[in-house]
Structure 1
Amino acid sequence: MGSASKQSNKPDNHQGATGKAGATDRRARIAELRAEEQRRDRRNKFIAIGAASVLVASMIGVGAWVALDAKSKQDAKTAAAKAPIEGVKTFSNLSRNHVTTKVNYPQVPPVGGDHNPVWANCMGTVYDKPLENENAVHSLEHGAVWVTYNAKASAADLKTLSTKVKATPYSLMSPYPDEKGTITLTAWGTQLVLDSASDPRVDEFFTKYVQGPQTQEPGASCSTAQ
């Protein structure tokens, strides 16, 4: 009988080498994936930093523009407040006593003087009936501009003026049938007569005299009264 062939127990060097190579490839692949992930994280970080920088720069730019615009408007308002307005008349040495009787004012409408202890509401208030002089004069003392008009004022004039007054705290408007001018703008000790509400001096007068330098009691209330 022939003898059976003997099976070798020696390790297969080829298989071992293949296994080691596969493990090495896996480790290399994992390392490559990690490196790619790190590169992606760094790239995203740079993008985020760049976007944040652009946003901050934009905010700074907008903030600077807003500040510059506000300063420009304030400078323009300051310049307008200092500029003379053609046709404005001023009156000095006006008394400021509180009285409960009627006052005979020399100007029509009055520009100041003794007045009632109660002021007319002047927080952008438009009245459809004439006011008592003594109440309106008290409002002037608080820095209000009083807009009055007679029957010669047009509907367009009244719309323009009422819109202006309603948008302006420390102003009031009422009819004044006895005044000579079509439209009269009055602040304490100061008055301007106009023919039309489209006159650019309306805005100039408001800019200069609403709580302007003529105000006798700056910051005093203009509401919660009549």
Structure 2
Amino acid sequence: MGSDSNSSSAARKARVDEMRRAERARERRTRMLTVAASVVVVAGLVVGGVVLLRAQSDPDTKNASAKKDPAGDAKNAGTSGDTGHFTTGKDGVRVWSGKLSRTHVPTKVSYPMHPPVGGNHNPVWLDCNGDVYKNAVQDENAVHALEHGAVWVTYTAQAKKADVDALAAKVKQTPYSLMSPYANQDAPLMLSAWGHQVAVKSASDPEVGRFFASYVQGKQTPEPGASCTGGAMK
């Protein structure tokens, strides 16, 4: 009997010891998980704080936020935001000397030049992948195309049909260009790019080739490589 009692007591003691070891192991695992979770939370807060500080100090982020700000859009609606004037070079190209704003606005814009060569504009660009429009287009969409590096060919009713047809053929062969009639301009045939504009005498005027070579995706482009498709098509 005594031997059986001793064996039973030893077995209970062994089971209790095993249970205690298991409990201590669970406590250690719980502590480790708690510490790990705390580290993750703290790291997340640190990273989030760094990102927030960078966003607040990054001028590009500030500009992007400004473009998306409805209050800013409302403030700039109707105005081009442009300041300055044209200066004319020896080659006859007029260059805008001053500021050309680039805020997206949902309304009509009053531009200081015709056709406009920059300024606040519609959020949707005008398709400019060699597109020839038979009817007048919205200035605000066309200006956005100029921002993407397009050359915009415009003509009045006084332009010769042969010149219009020849320029249309050139535009159709040139990505990042577009063409449309434009009644309110100073010459029958004009070419415009962001911040640049020239009147040409005919489709065979040497300045046509020079202007295209210089300003289709030229150095003046605020957003080089931006799309000229998938925008407005009128």
- Normalising by structure 1, we get a TM-score of 0.62
From 154, 162, 166, the equivalent of 2:160 is 154
- Other-structure match for 2:198: 192
The more displaced of 145-154 and 192-201 is 192-201
Once the two structures are superposed, what CA deviation does each residue of 1:76-99 show, in whole Å capped at 9, x if it has no partner?
xxxxxxxx8710011131000000
The CA distance in 1 between the partners of 2:219 and 2:161, in whole Å, is: 32
Query: Contact between 1:119 and 1:222, CA under 8 Å: does it hold in 2?
Result: yes
Give the match's secondary structure for 1:212. Answer: coil
From 196, 203, 207, the equivalent of 1:201 is 207
Matched, 1:100 2:106: yes
- Other-structure match for 2:92: 87
From 153, 163, 170, the equivalent of 1:164 is 170
The CA distance in 2 between the partners of 1:156 and 1:146, in whole Å, is: 18
Q: Which amino acid aligns with 2:137?
A: L
Q: Which amino acid aligns with 1:86?
A: D
After the TM superposition, which residues 117-196 of structure 1 pair with which residues of structure 2 at under 5 Å, given as runs?
A: 117-196=123-202
Give the match's secondary structure for 1:116. Answer: coil
Shift in Å, 1:195: 2.3
Give the match's secondary structure for 2:99. Answer: coil
Q: Which amino acid aligns with 1:170?
A: Y
Q: Structure 1 runs of 4+ off > 2 angstroms?
A: none
Give the match's secondary structure for 1:118. Answer: coil
Q: Which amino acid aligns with 1:88?
A: V
Shift in Å, 1:196: 1.3
Q: How many residue pairs get matched?
A: 143
Q: Which has the higher contact order (CA 8 A, sep 6+)?
A: 1
The CA distance in 2 between the partners of 1:108 and 1:197, in whole Å, is: 20
From 211, 215, 218, the equivalent of 2:224 is 218
The CA distance in 1 between the partners of 2:182 and 2:172, in whole Å, is: 18
Give the match's secondary structure for 2:153. Answer: strand
Residues 88 and 128 of structure 1, relative CA distance in 2, 3 Å threshold: same
The CA distance in 2 between the partners of 1:93 and 1:180, in whole Å, is: 22
Structure with greater Cα Rg:
1
Q: Which amino acid aligns with 1:89?
A: R
Query: Contact between 1:97 and 1:115, CA under 8 Å: does it hold in 2?
Result: yes
Once the two structures are superposed, what CA deviation does each residue of 1:17-44 show, in whole Å capped at 9, x if it has no partner?
xxxxxxxxxxxxxxxxxxxxxxxxxxxx
Residues 85 and 148 of structure 1, relative CA distance in 2, 3 Å threshold: farther
Q: Which amino acid aligns with 1:144?
A: A
Q: CA RMSD in A?
A: 1.0
Q: Structure 2: 5+ residue runs without aligned partners?
A: 1-88
The more displaced of 94-103 and 189-198 is 189-198
Shift in Å, 1:124: 0.2
The CA distance in 2 between the partners of 1:123 and 1:85, in whole Å, is: 30
